[in-house]
Amino acid sequence: MQQQLTHQLEHYLDSLGEEERIEAINQFRLALHRHSPFQDQPVDCVLWVKQENVVPNNYNPNNVAPPERRLLQKSLEADGFTQPVVVVSRGKHRFEIIDGFHRQELVKTKNVLKAQLKGYLPVTCLQDNGPPSASGMASTIRHNRARGRHQINAMSDIIRELAQQGWSEEKIGKELGMDSDEVLRLKQMSGLLELFADRHFSGAWTVK
């Protein structure tokens, strides 16, 4: 039975043009994902989407030095994509990057990579039904920190944004993998009085 279904599937895919075939493969993968025992794992379903439909976020604090960027480009050209770009859906045919900005940027700007991928990107989608704010930021920071890379100033801006959205220091620390001292230092860098509204300070000392 399985062999028969596989044969029918291959025959059907062979009858399609390239763009139709890619869309059909995506639909089959989504159907398999819905029945997979690993459907709670994003990597269980990697889709191919058009590059112009994948957009960067506006808060990524990750930075890649020129030597690492060249190595990443060489890796993509020689080995291909071994990791999909992590995204969240932001409407029909629009995806916002959570992790993989530099891979996406290289594919869009380097003709060799663009040709290899036929104008598409491999993506895996996180479940995110909220606005493009706190949850997406937290996911991006977790991915960056897991690799030990992030920019301090940009991190401070994100801490400020999360605090202004009502996240406590405890929640920020838990979601971003920081201890309380690190959260406090990043808050101090932002220099905004309202970030410390939940703290109680003793009276100032004066000299008479």
Q: What is the mean pLDDT of residues 48-73?
A: 81
Strand partners, 88: 96
Q: What is the pLDDT of residue 19?
A: 96
Please name the residues in contact with 19: beta carbons below 8 A apart, sequence gap of 6 or more: none
Q: What is the pLDDT of residue 196?
A: 45
For 42, phi then psi, to 5°, come to -55, -35
- Nearest-CA neighbor of 107 among 126, 122, 124? 122
Decide: 155 and 61 in contact? Cβ < 8 Å.
yes
> What percent of the chain has pLDDT above 70?
75
Q: What is the pLDDT of residue 38?
A: 96
- Longest CA span, the chain: 93
Q: What is the pLDDT of residue 136?
A: 62
Token digits for 56? 């960067």
For 132, phi then psi, to 5°, come to -75, 70
- In three-state form (DSSP H/G/I as H, E/B as E, the rest C), the secondary structure along the chain is CHHHHHHHHHHHHHCCCHHHHHHHHHHHHHHHHHCCCCCCCHHHCCEEEEHHHEECCCCCCCCCCHHHHHHHHHHHHHHCCCCCEEEEECCCCCEEEEECHHHHHHHHHCHHHHHHCCCEEEEEECCCCCCCCHHHHHHHHHHHHHCCCCCHHHHHHHHHHHHHCCCCHHHHHHHHCCCHHHHHHHHHHHCCHHHHCCCCCCCCCCCC
Q: Which fold has domain 46-130?
A: 3.90.1530
* pLDDT surpasses 60 at 183: yes
Most confident of 20-24, 54-58, 122-126, 133-137: 20-24
Q: What is the pLDDT of residue 92?
A: 81
Q: What is the pLDDT of residue 164?
A: 80
Please name the residues in contact with 178: beta carbons below 8 A apart, sequence gap of 6 or more: 172, 186
Give residue limits of the domains in the chain. 1-38, 46-130
Q: Say how far apart CA 23 and CA 18 lie, in whole Å.
A: 9
Range in 86-95, 112-121, 146-155, 161-170 the model is least confident about: 146-155
Place of tokens 């009085």: 193
* pLDDT surpasses 50 at 131: yes
Residue type, position 118, single letter? K
pLDDT in tens, 91-109: 888 899 888 888 898 988 8
Q: What is the mean pLDDT of residues 176-194?
A: 70
